[in-house]
Amino acid sequence: MYWIKQILRFAIFTALLLLFVWFAVTLFVWVKSAEPSNTSTLFNIRSNVHWLKTDSALKFSFSASRTMSVRVLSNGIFESQPLDDQPVNYAIEYQLLDAKGAIIYRGTYHHAAKAASNDFQQQVKQIIENREALAVASGQSFYLNREELQQAATITLKLIPENAQLKGVVVRVHAQTSNSITDPAKAWLKRPTEWRERMTNYHTIGENALTNEEKYNSVMLDWQKLAPQGVPNIDFRADLLYESLPYNVLNHDFSTQLDLDSLFISEQLSASFRVYEHTEYLLSHSENANLTFVWHDLRQLDAPKPLTPEMLSTTQARLSNLPAGLVTISASAPTSIRVFSNGVDPIVPLHSYYYMLNAQTPVYYQVSPKSDIALEWRAPIGSTLSVSLYSNNERIKDYVFTATAEQALFDRLITETTERQTLPTAEKRYLAIPDNVNQIKIEAEDAMVKLQARSPTFNYLNHRCDPVCDPESPIYQGIDAWFSQRADNHYLFHTQKQIASVRLFEAPPEVPELLPQYRSKDLDQLLAVSDIALVPIEQAYFDNSVPQMEFEYRQVAKSALFKLGKATSYPSSVIVKQQHKPTLFEVPLNSLQIEELANTQALFINQGLPRTVRKIRLYKVAKTTPLTVAVSENNLQPNALVVKVFSAEPQAEITVATALDSTKVITPSDEYTILAKHFVLHLNPAQTRMFFNPNHADLYEYPSITLPLFQDLTSPKTMTLSFSHDVWISVLEEHEQPDATLNWWQDETP
């Protein structure tokens, strides 16, 4: 009996041990199958995914008022890793339903993807269904923007299989919503205008072209995952997808993937970015990139200068201690580069979208009567565009334009496969819409077209800094003049993939063929108080004229003052700066007494070279009194008016409103004059000037304002200026030819 008990006890123990070992091995195999093949977990996440069906659709509901866009992420699933390396095709049919369940739009989005290899960290890892590891295709995505979702409350998804190798397709759907529930536009409006313009124009590539840094720093929106409706136990049973970010893979040719956030450079395409003072720029590029960097002064006071970055490694370089301006990048062979300001924030160029017209697909726009439009196109040289104006479907006017622009050096087209291609330079025509016109039709056999509009009375606000305002600062947000219009047949272009995304770069300023000539307007009859100031002489680097007029001075030592010759065509004059009042006074050299120089701080004489300061006349304007000046005098219309603003007391900023009294031409023009503008001038404390005024020794100069007077004006009459503070101003006229009968204080430069 004893041995029987021992044998029975041993059998039970052995059975339990075998059962435990079997369970442990099974658990180990299950856990092992759930682990990513690549052990890097820095960006690895687990996502609940849902299988698409071919016979019934998954339904996802969302709030149209809070949803900025909907993102559909999908992955093709295989039973095992495919033997070949060819892309697999599948399509997703989506429908937008309104609150009553009626279909308002139906579309199909086609995908092509390859199976993700285990050692490719930026691809999907594996999916577990019933503890079984399956092969997964790379992640694909498409987006529906807010314009498409305004009348919708639900999106449905259904699979259209196109490849027999696929076991199926899994999806997850995210809705992009604002951080602020009570004010969904708050985060958006706080962002700089360039960011908002870029996001607004990103129709072809969509938000999936943005990096995570850009998303979090631009519009401050979150992606909220949506759960499908009518699926039992959705919160408890779902398949898990192990993957690493980013989700989206746009390029179907996996051997030539391009980083959408890098700046592509080649012999035909250059790039550029603005630089700001006290900002360091980190450059990340390939090891053998042969790049050339040139700094450009946007004011054109200094000539372009080649730059030599500090090399941190074979693929990292740094630019630092640069004055504000523009840096252009060129290369002798195709390459790419990423640029970060202060080593963190990526430099992001502006994007715009165009409708791609052909002989079968014209574009239609609804327009508001009495508004102004800006038609922009990019087309091969010699091709034509026909623009027809309609009034309630009745054609009343036609215009034909011929493309003349050559290939753009900086702008580039981004294709669906993220390839960068050259394209023609943009051309524009402006037109005032007649009262009875409410529709525009544009036809072309081969052209990319964009239409912008504005009300002639719409507010326009621009910030001016010395030298350049940083758009990343929230205090420099302005109001743009033009706003892009969506075509009536936008969905047709969308479904036919005829919406092109163009990446824009700023070109350096060109050297003008003729040097503009300036002269100050005589405001003696309008303003009672005037005085004189000394300001630095600033000349463009290409201006070879030598300043040696009687009202231009250079500093001279006291010991050399009385030894100067007097062989000049105008009397020698000396400006004395001293400690006590008046701090500045002017006296002829031949009448200057040595006793008058006892407390001298500086001496200036209108002889010799180089002349460094200029004597100008300023007029005082009260903040409560608008100033109206005549635009044209002696029947000679200037090309522009320049307003130079000074203040005797330093103000943080000065607001200037300008209003031009003129009428516009009613035919298309390649120039456009904004009649009413607002400017915010920001003080640079270092820009102090010497003042002859007995009550104020220093004068603070603000950035000047240039108001162009283009050929779209007919008989401009007056310009009215209003200021937020008491200021001292000088108003200059810009002409092509100099005036031979100027007074000394009239010959100025802006």
Query: Is the pLDDT higher at 290 or at 261?
Result: 290
- What does the pLDDT read at residue 178? 60
The mean pLDDT of 118-129, rounded to a whole number, is 52
The mean pLDDT of 720-748, rounded to a whole number, is 80
Tokens of 393: 């479907």
Q: What is the largest CA-CA distance in the chain?
A: 142
Question: How far, in Å, are 345, 628, 730 from residue 733 at the CA level?
Answer: 41, 15, 10
d(CA 300, CA 542): 8
- My answer on whether omega of the bond before 610 falls inside 30° of 0, hence cis, is yes
Which range among 67-76, 353-362, 470-479 has the greatest average pLDDT?
Answer: 353-362
pLDDT over 90 (residue 425): yes
pLDDT over 70 (residue 707): yes
Query: Is the pLDDT higher at 69 or at 256?
Result: 69
Task: Tell me the residue type at 614.
Answer: R
d(CA 364, CA 440): 6
Task: Tell me the residue type at 298.
Answer: L
d(CA 561, CA 554): 11
- What does the pLDDT read at residue 605? 92
To 10 degrees, the CA torsion angle through 708, 712, 717, 723?
A: -40
To 10 degrees, the CA torsion angle through 712, 717, 722, 726?
A: 130
Tell me the percentage of the chain whose pLDDT exceeds 70: 80
How would you class 701 by CB atoms within 10 Å of its CB: exposed for 0-12, middle for 13-18, buried for 19 or more? buried
d(CA 695, CA 420): 61
Confidence of residue 562 (pLDDT cuts 50, 70, 90): confident
386 forms bridges with which residues in the sheet?
Answer: 400, 443
Q: Are 134 and 79 in contact (CB under 8 A)?
A: yes
Q: What is the mean pLDDT of the chain?
A: 81
d(CA 748, CA 170): 70
DSSP labels, 160-188: EE--TTEEEEEEEEEEEEES-SS-TTHHH
- pLDDT tens digits for 297-319? 999 999 999 999 999 988 889 99
Q: What is the CB neighbour count within 10 angstroms for residue 509?
A: 14
Task: Give the least confident one: 87-96, 199-208, 248-257, 637-646.
Answer: 248-257
pLDDT over 90 (residue 679): yes
- pLDDT tens digits for 377-398? 999 999 999 999 999 889 999 9
- What does the pLDDT read at residue 646? 95
Q: What is the CB neighbour count within 10 angstroms for residue 286?
A: 13
Q: Are 678 and 655 in contact (CB under 8 A)?
A: yes
d(CA 35, CA 27): 13
- pLDDT tens digits for 586-631? 998 888 888 778 888 999 998 888 889 999 999 999 998 999 999 9
Confidence of residue 661 (pLDDT cuts 50, 70, 90): very high
Write the CB contacts of 427 (distance below 8 Å, at least 6 apart in sequence): 376, 377, 378, 379, 401, 403, 404, 405, 670
- pLDDT tens digits for 468-505? 888 777 788 888 888 888 888 887 888 788 888 899 99
pLDDT over 50 (residue 181): no
- What does the pLDDT read at residue 244? 42
Task: Give the least confident one: 39-43, 321-325, 517-521.
Answer: 39-43
The mean pLDDT of 118-125, rounded to a whole number, is 46
141 forms bridges with which residues in the sheet?
Answer: 73
Tokens of 702: 């603000």
- What does the pLDDT read at residue 514? 86
Q: What is the CB neighbour count within 10 angstroms for residue 684?
A: 14
- What does the pLDDT read at residue 1? 63
Task: Give the least confident one: 84-93, 513-522, 594-603.
Answer: 84-93
| Secondary structure of 201-269 in HEC code, one letter for each residue | CCCCCCHHHCCHHHHHHHCCEEEEEECCECCCCCCCCCEEEEEECCCCCCCCCHHHCCCCCCEEECCCC
Task: Give the least confident one: 18-22, 196-200, 509-513, 678-682.
Answer: 196-200
pTM above 0.75?
no
- What does the pLDDT read at residue 197? 60
How would you class 213 by CB atoms within 10 Å of its CB: exposed for 0-12, middle for 13-18, buried for 19 or more? middle
Tokens of 680: 């915010």
Question: How far, in Å, are 518, 711, 729 from residue 637 at the CA level?
Answer: 13, 10, 21
Tokens of 347: 């430099």
The mean pLDDT of 545-550, rounded to a whole number, is 81
Query: Helix (H, G, I), strand (E, B), or coil: what is residue 491?
Result: helix
Give the distance from CA 415 to its chain's centroid: 19
d(CA 170, CA 156): 14
- pLDDT tens digits for 685-696? 888 899 998 888
Task: Tell me the residue type at 558.
Answer: K
Q: Are 439 and 366 in contact (CB under 8 A)?
A: yes
Query: Helix (H, G, I), strand (E, B), or coil: what is residue 668?
Result: coil
d(CA 225, CA 177): 10
User: What's the number of CA atoms in the CB half-sphere (13 Å) around residue 190?
Assistant: 13
Task: Give the least confident one: 29-43, 447-461, 632-646.
Answer: 29-43
305 forms bridges with which residues in the sheet?
Answer: 295
pLDDT over 80 (residue 82): no
- What does the pLDDT read at residue 492? 85
Q: Are 659 and 459 in contact (CB under 8 A)?
A: no
The mean pLDDT of 5-12, rounded to a whole number, is 75
CA angle 73, 78, 83 (to 5 degrees): 125
pLDDT over 70 (residue 742): no
Q: What is the CB neighbour count within 10 angstroms for residue 465?
A: 19
pLDDT over 80 (residue 25): no
Q: What region does 418 belong to: left with phi over 0, alpha with psi -120 to 50, or beta?
A: left
Task: Tell me the residue type at 573.
Answer: S
pLDDT over 70 (residue 250): no
Write the CB contacts of 473 (distance below 8 Å, at least 6 apart in sequence): 192
Q: What is the CB neighbour count within 10 angstroms for residue 304?
A: 16
- pLDDT tens digits for 221-239? 566 777 777 665 544 445 5
pLDDT over 50 (residue 195): yes
Question: How far, in Å, are 432, 557, 579, 597, 688 from residue 584 at the CA level?
Answer: 52, 16, 9, 12, 14
pLDDT over 80 (residue 697): yes
